[in-house]
Structures are given as C-alpha cells and as structure tokens.
Amino acid sequence: MRVLILSDVHSNLSALEEVIKDAGPVDCILSAGDIVGYGPWPNECIDLSRELGFHSVAGNHDEACVTGLASDFNPYAEEAIHITHRLLRAENLAYLARLPKSLERILGNCRVVIYHGSPRDPLNEYIFPYAADSLLESLIQQTRSEVLVLGHTHVSFVRRLDGRLIVNPGSVGQPRDRDPRASYVILEDKGEGVMGWVKRVGYPVESVAKKMLQEGFPKVLAQRLFYGL
C-alpha cells in the first residue's frame, strides 16, 4: 500500500501538478481539505482532484468559498474568498458543498481518519507539530484510528505514538514553514507497519504569483509564496 496524503492545495495548480508528478504511482490520494482559496486556479484544482479520485474532507476555505461568508477571516483571506467564489463554476461549488467534515478509509489493515482541523473542531482548530503527546494521544483515541490525518496549519509533521501515526502533510499550495516548496506525505505499509514521510518539491512560484495578480488577488498573498510564509 502506498498512499499520497496532501492538504491545503489552495487553488495552486502548478504546485499540485508537481506533487502528483513527484509522488509517483500511489494506490489512493487522501486530502485534508482546502482545495481552494488564495490561489488563481480553483476550478482547475477541483477538476484535477475529481479526475484523480481524491478522498477529501472540507476545509474552512472550501466552506467559505461556497457560502461567500468570510467575515471571520483576515482581510486578505476574505478578499481571496470573494474572488474565488466568483471564479468557481456552479458544479464545483456544488462539489465543495458536498465534501464531508470528516472521512474514514480502511487501507489494508489500517483505519485512517481525516479532518481539516481536528476531531474537536473539524474546520478550524490548529494542531501544530509542537502539540503535546497527551493531546495527540487523546485525538487518536477519540477517533479510534491507526492513522489520524490533519491539515489547516500549513506546517507538516509525522508523529508516532504507541504504534499509531498522526500526520499533517503541510500545504501543497501555500506552505508556512519558511520553505516555499510544496509539501506532502507518502504513507506506506510494506507489511512491517505503517510509515509516513514528509516530502517537498519545488514549483514555478513566479508564474503562480503573476497569475494571482492578474486575477486581482492581494499582492501580499502572491509575495508570501516566495518565502513560505
């Protein structure tokens, strides 16, 4: 079993295409949400995710881009949400609206549970790499999973606790760990237990930033791509 786990694509088609290419052959693709928001290709990213059969949950940006309600976001994110909402085709708005807030998949002998935020707050809680073991253990126990997948922070990590994994693949389209390369995780089970690795791959940031400005996204959102912020 070889699984690609990704999150927070944020309408960055160039980064997503590089991740798919870099990951190579996989048995399935799991997404921890926020396919859209911030970037200039929301329809294209949804089209590709549907074509490749992503198993995805909803993220907070996915939900906001459907409803157009973004008053709880910072001003730059709010503006990006309104632009994305206008760009999205009707069938893709409907697709995002159908995404569940949690998802369970059985992969081999492994129960994988996916949230964008956390089991306690599926859309909005941030679980960072420095979270205490006790918190992570409680989340795994709550979900009764062998692998718990989270997103939202744009910061990647893989932690093993009592033989179980908690995974955040970071962000494909807008990393925030001061590394501008797209981030994802490969999960493998070769019969000796499940293992996970964070992987990084570069993509043409300059062309993405240029396209964002052409579509009217705030300049600060384009600039941050160069620095992984």
Confidence check: pLDDT of 167 > 90? yes
Give the burial class of 192: count Cβ atoms within 10 A of its Cβ; 0-12 exposed, 13-18 middle, 19 or more buried: exposed
Number of folded domains in the chain? 1
Give 113's pLDDT tier (boundaries 50, 70, 90): very high
pLDDT at 108: 83
pLDDT at 99: 98
Please tell me the distance from the alpha carbon of residue 14 to that of residue 57, in angstroms, as a whole number. 21
Q: State the helix-helix crossing angle for 90-98 and 60-67, rounded to 10 degrees.
A: 130
Beta-ladder partners of 188:
2, 195
161: domain CATH number? 3.60.21.10
Q: Average pLDDT in the 210-225 region?
A: 97
Residue 148, amino acid? L
Which domain does 114 fall in, by range? 2-226
Contact by Cβ (8 Å): 13, 48: yes
pLDDT at 192: 73
Q: What digits encode the pLDDT tens for the residues 116-125? A: 999 999 999 9
Ordered strands of the 2-6 beta sheet: 55-56, 28-31, 2-6, 182-189, 194-201
Give 109's pLDDT tier (boundaries 50, 70, 90): confident
Q: What digits encode the pLDDT tens for the residues 9-64? A: 999 999 999 999 999 999 999 999 999 999 999 999 999 999 999 999 999 999 99
Confidence check: pLDDT of 80 > 80? yes
